[in-house]
Structure 1
Amino acid sequence: MPADIVAVPPGHLGNLTNQEERKLQEAWIHLLRLCGVQESVDHETPDRTAAFQEHLSDKSTDNFRQRLWSFILADHPDVLVLRFLRAREWDVEKAVAMLVSALNWRQEQRLEDDIVRRGDSVGLATNKEQSADEKSFMAQYRSGKAYVRGADKERRPVFIIKVRLHDPKLQSPESMEMFVLHNIETMRTMIRHPDEKSCLIFDLTGFGLKNMDFHVVKFLVHVFEARYPEYLGVVLVHNAPLIFWGIWKMIQPWLDPVIASKINFTSRNADLARFIAQEQLQKCYGGKDSWEYKYIEPVEGENERMQSEKKEEVEAARGELVRQFEQLSLEWARVKPGSAEATQKETERRDLGEVLRESCWKLDPYVRARTYYHRAGVIGPLGVVDYQAAQ
């Protein structure tokens, strides 16, 4: 296979069986009904809307539609839906229920309003204006305990967590959850189909009991299993000291079998090199990358577009594209997978999905506070990503 051709894994967009395509169509019918697309009620798929709405605190179709498209972000809409279908082994009703539950959870967490929209812009406030949780949120970014650097051999972003720099006594559980979710939401902007997953390194060099945070471990297990399924590609637990293995016996029973299967233990730099090329690996791990993390503070005025009157115009343009995609999805869901008509509709949806992706990046500066990765040049204009951008 030529180096520039990327193999798409089975069950992912671009490599679906006719049966999987049919499951995807059924999932979209359920979602379109929840979005209030009235024409979808005529489809042969049984109506489970009332049952799905039991997972929602707000049953408004307009609110559900807005939450769904905010979650989809800048990827092809099918990519998100397929994550949940794979996570529930292609049981459509369980997958849609899981997705609906995740959307409800995102609203309860105020993810778009408090975490995505505000992010580390809270660092622009004076010390007196910041809450205790906001202060500790910023302190965690400045500490360098967690950051993205490089990509592994599967082209997945490498997210490094230096556990020795974490002290659970220095921040509240709520602040830590906010920090975790902001990192996940930011990392999601760096992931692109067909490379839809991430590589996590838990660096346990210098780890001691004072660094152990059972609340964070449980929270991470929960969100990656139930709220962000299929985002983990591989987890590398690196350089674990002897004291860790007793803790590991306590953690193991909490792990979903799928997540557990992704965990690898590495004890030498050579072990990491099996997963990450030397050019992409920092020197502290035996690689050739001399870069070291240094947090770049937010800058006054970097989020001025969030207050711009043009936001409504950009949102309206994207909203029209969403409406077109919903109608096209309805037409596609009514044709038999594998037919010539289905192939035509799939092509039209793929092309429109690309336009949607571009529209999301045009909207992004109006709804997301700039992050360290924007300031460092890792995330560039229109979402172009360079995992090894120099600071």
Structure 2
Amino acid sequence: MTTDIATGRIGNLSKEQELKIKQVWAHMLTHWGVPVDTKNVFQSRSNRGGESKSDADSNKNSKKGGKLFGKFLKGSGGSSKSGTSDQRDRSGSLGAKQTTEELETLFSGLEPSEVRENFWDMLRTDYPDNLLLRFLRARKWDTHKAMSMIAHTLRWRLKEAKPDEVIMGGELAAYKKNEKGYIKNIELSKATIRGFDNKGRPIVYVRPRLHHSSDQTEDEMKEYCLLIIEQTRLFLKEPVDCATILFDLTDFSMANMDYSPVQYLISCFEAHYPECLGHLFIHKAPWIFPPIWNIIKNWLDPVVASKIVFTKNTSDLVKYIPEKHIPASLGGDDKYDFDSFKKPDESVDAKLQDHETRNAIQEKRSAIIKSYIDTTVAWIESTAEKESSELLQRKIELSKQLSDNFRKLDPYIRSRSVYDINGTLEL
């Protein structure tokens, strides 16, 4: 067990946690049509010698929740067949016989091939296992709740928000589409990814005083939010898996208050980017802010709320952020001009036209993914602890290969951002 890897991440899992991620993979692979023998991961807990606390909690939650995936299906207009809750094993997970039927309902309207493709496309330099583990941790290791969340997110990415299109198009896409409100957000640099906190997490520096709701449509604001979130993901490097947000409320007034983007950001982090927030600093909140906060805090999940820290001065910030990464305007040493945005020249995207190189890298990526899937199948089916451990190490090695492959592929599929151009983003 590696001590510098946080618990609940690949490379630092308990036996029960490893079982849970195997179950999630078994569900995903089965839905994709990949043959996998799942009896080892879905047999009842009584046959494996007892029930852990996490399993007991899952079982308790399952009984409270009624039908499997009920909350998600109600929200998406679907329905599940009665009696499903009785078909789960004692770990709160779907049994092998129910997997196909339930996932067909859960992913209703989505082809298995597009779900599979989108899963691999949403990876940046993060490891596949760690991506799925975010959802398990967010749902307290309840497999079926994690699967509901994963399905909801994949549907959202494919059919609704389409964040992969947003990040691949970058800032230049806003200009090409002439989305004036989106462009204004970009040029004002309302949010800038700059520096790292004491734990190596990238910092998103937000200046709400620059925001006015009339400057953009709601859709343009959502698109800008997604651009910042997805750009921040590019700054994450294993084992760092979350970011810090610094809201600078200097000169904030009621004219800047807009609840819509706040609600959207909260919903994104809680529903689609779980376990991605390190700290959220609310700095120099003015006297008008407490009533606003009393409204916002009621929207927050307790876990997200626990990560919010109110700060007043530089001394408060240096407890979490090195002075060299604190903006000079807040008493730090970073003299970066946050108003220096310049529209990228289209010449920076010359590699997007090099389809031959892109295709060659993607072909290698497909081969790595196939090896990863084959290894994952063997890992799920393995009954020997030594063999399972060796297969897990093989998966970690293949994850590293996928990360390296994305670094090579990135300039051939993603428009260059201001961070690529100014050198602050180095994959």
TM-score past 0.5 threshold: yes
User: Aligned residue for 1:335?
Assistant: 382
Residues 46-55 or 82-91, more deviating: 46-55
User: Aligned residue for 1:389?
Assistant: none
1:39-54 alignment runs, 5 A limit:
39-40=36-37, 45=42, 46-47=95-96, 48-54=99-105
User: Aligned residue for 2:59?
Assistant: none
Give the direction of change, closer, same or farther, for the CA distance of 1:148–1:6 in structure 2 (3 Å limit).
farther
User: Aligned residue for 1:65?
Assistant: 116
Q: Does 2:310 correspond to 1:265?
A: yes
Distance 1:182 1:199 in 2: 16
TM-score, normalised to structure 1, is 0.90
Following TM superposition, the consecutive aligned residue runs of length 4 or more in structure 1 with deviations greater than 6 angstroms are none
Give the direction of change, closer, same or farther, for the CA distance of 1:312–1:283 in structure 2 (3 Å limit).
same
Q: Does 2:155 correspond to 1:104?
A: yes
> 1:122-141 deviations in whole A, cap 9, x for unaligned?
3554xxxx43xx22212111
User: Aligned residue for 1:229?
Assistant: 274
Aligned pair partner of 2:360 in 287, 310, 313: 313
User: Aligned residue for 2:370?
Assistant: 323
Note the aligned Cα RMSD (angstroms): 1.8
1:1-391 alignment runs, 5 A limit:
7-40=4-37, 45=42, 46-47=95-96, 48-56=99-107, 58-109=109-160, 111=162, 114-122=165-173, 125=176, 130-131=177-178, 134-293=179-338, 294-310=340-356, 311-336=358-383, 339-380=385-426, 383=427
Q: Which amino acid aligns with 1:285?
A: L
Residues 56-65 or 177-186, more deviating: 56-65
When Rg is computed on C-alpha atoms for both structures, the one with the higher figure is: 2
SS of the residue 2:336 aligns to: coil
Distance 1:247 1:230 in 2: 25
- 8 Å contact kept, 2:38–2:381: no
Could you list the runs of 5+ residues in structure 1 that have no partner in the other structure? 384-391
Give the direction of change, closer, same or farther, for the CA distance of 1:336–1:271 in structure 2 (3 Å limit).
farther
TM-score, normalised to structure 2, is 0.83
Could you list the runs of 5+ residues in structure 2 that have no partner in the other structure? 43-94
Q: How many residues align?
A: 370
SS of the residue 2:347 aligns to: coil
SS of the residue 1:302 aligns to: helix
- 8 Å contact kept, 1:123–1:298: no
Distance 1:286 1:328 in 2: 51
- 8 Å contact kept, 1:153–1:275: yes
Residues 95-104 or 276-285, more deviating: 276-285
> 1:279-333 deviations in whole A, cap 9, x for unaligned?
2212112212222221132112222332332232222221111111001011111
- 8 Å contact kept, 2:163–2:230: no
Give the direction of change, closer, same or farther, for the CA distance of 1:78–1:227 in structure 2 (3 Å limit).
same
Distance 1:21 1:221 in 2: 29
Residues 47-56 or 153-162, more deviating: 47-56
Give the direction of change, closer, same or farther, for the CA distance of 1:121–1:55 in structure 2 (3 Å limit).
farther
- 8 Å contact kept, 1:296–1:376: no
Deviation of residue 346 (structure 1)?
A: 1.5
- 8 Å contact kept, 1:56–1:104: yes
- 8 Å contact kept, 1:123–1:297: no
Q: Which amino acid aligns with 1:368?
A: R
Which structure has more relative contact order (CA 8 Å, sep 6+)? It is 1
Deviation of residue 44 (structure 1)?
A: 5.1
Distance 2:422 2:218 in 1: 28
Deviation of residue 39 (structure 1)?
A: 3.3
Distance 2:314 2:351 in 1: 44
SS of the residue 1:147 aligns to: strand
